[in-house]
Structure 1
Amino acid sequence: MKDILSLDLDELRREIISFGEKDYRANQIFKWVYAKRVLDFSEMTDLPMNLRNKLGSLFRFTTMKEVERQISIDGTEKFLLKLEDDNHIETVVLKHPRHVTFCISSQVGCALNCSFCATGASGFTRDLSASEIVSQVILMENSIGRPVDNIVFMGMGEPFLNEANVYKAIKILHDPVGRNLGIRHFTISTAGIPEGIKRLADSGMDVRLSVSLHSASEETRSSLMPINKKYPLDSLRKVLDYYQQKTGNRITFEYALIKGVNDSKEDLTKLGEFLTGIKSFVNIIPVNPVKPVFDRPSDREIAVFSESLKKAGFECAVRHEKGTDIEAACGQLRQKRRE
């Protein structure tokens, strides 16, 4: 049986036409699934009963089980989800006064092994399918009882290493017939894969781009992020220039501030040199508690770093992390079995 959540609207239309139905039936099904979040053909009441029965015999829905749902003191929610093959992923709901953001996973684990990130320490298992990515959104929308406003591929995994499935999931969720989430409400967060950034620039897909930088020193970044040894800062900078020339979009940079590692005046100077000429915004993220243990700078040191960057002419803000108490903040997601 085909997984219906793996089909975009054009593919679903072709399937519906192939067994003698009118193509508008695909629109009806798409609305039920993505606008109303109904994953049972028998409940799609504007479809003829014989069609509902036929659909049930031809298609299936990806299923994932909510193993655990934790709620932070700040309202952040973290979901541990069990996939059909018994692998586990974690996803996060960030609640703000006027909007809700989902941090969605694109892989089971991560192969990049950044030293401050718990996800990489758990290792890489496999890519998620487009239907598994989409299913996370439907499940969490149903769980919180409202639609999401923004989706960030900043959960488990490197999105550009599972590019085809990430893009297909975006296409499905963006389609105006169904979920109709605006394209600028999607963000791809990457550790810096030049080929992926270039393909995004060339795609015409106007999603937002966020780059995990964490240091503008070659040696320091390589120690924090092994991917820098393969794609050093010079190659990253060149492709970011290409991306910006092609799209004109501002790039967000994530900078996990770590005491004694990347918070010195020299680090600040190198960061400014790297950012010069790029339309950018820097999220300064006081490092979250993961293993191996890195220390956060003091509140004063964080403020000095932030203000110094602003005085140098760069837009930035200190991100007040949500969900740290339930290990739902940046770098804290991992595959934990709690059954």
Structure 2
Amino acid sequence: MTVDGGERTQWVYQGTGVPRPGSVEDLPVPPPWRQFDGGPLVEPPQEDAGEARRRLGSVPEQVPFGSDDEQIAVINAALYLRRPLLVTGRPGTGKSSLAYRIARELCLGRVLRWSITSRSTLKQGLYEYDAIGRVQAAAARQAVGLSQEVPSEPGVEDFLSLGPLGTALLPYEHPRVLLIDEMDKSDVDLPNDLLNVFEDGEFTIPELLRVRRTNSVVTVRTDDPYREAVVTNGVVRARAFPIVVITSNGERAFPAAFLRRCLRLRLQEPTTDELAAMVAAHFPGAMRSQLRNLINDFQNRSERERGLAADQLLNAVHLVTSGTWNAAHVDRDPAWQLLLDTLWQNLSD
């Protein structure tokens, strides 16, 4: 971040949600300890427009969540320091959507997503190798090859594919955006297992390392649909460390060593104006005046019960805007009020 006359320059990420082609070029050089030298460069895919639209709606005039100065400052600090961003908050506050907003605004292409479960391991995030499938294929080829001289040993690359974390660590010119969703669901060891990868910006694939003398350059599948990348000598090494957004619902604490390597951001409950902006993004043709009462009712109930998520509001808005109910008369419809009790049921119950 440059300083001129005591005032900071414009942040790279401004929180508008509006694509700004070329803005990523303004990212300053990372600290020396966060610089990596992987290569050759890999071409990233374009944005998955359908997924971004499902997550964010149409390009909004105002970003639905996280546009206040404090949050923008923390997000930019994570970008400048090339450190993972640990985002906490109650379900429905827009934690996962943040990764898509960053990717959309900075035009960084498709978001890589790693959804965490209690069975998730570091290796699954980096790559997967189907050893059993390779043995079966080798046996099948050998049976055919006895008479037709077909090679009996299939290549290891046919049975290996990079996971979302492994794909994010490929040598791109600009950082990819990686969403590690719901880290608090993971096994207790996973946060510590990630530490070396986060520090080193690289990892080794033993299955490729073993064949490097005869096949040092291997093309493998990535987590991006229908895309491949070259791995040399069994090592995947980043050029630009990815923008890692890690979400947590706060259901468990993380080790101090893991927290030290992250910048932490807590998302607060969305305001009425932020909810209205979110509705406008997902329903750009809707009559805002007709939906204002619905948004206010949702906000009042959410403040009272402290257990509602923003997508519960979107469900109600869709029913109103789809013509199932007349938006002008829902306040006086007993059936609608009963349905709202179901749609807006407290998630903590």
TM-score of the pair, normalised by structure 1: 0.28
TM-score of the pair, normalised by structure 2: 0.27
Higher relative contact order, structure no. (Cα contacts within 8 Å, ≥ 6 residues apart): 2
Greater strand content: 1
Q: Rg larger in 1 or in 2?
A: 2
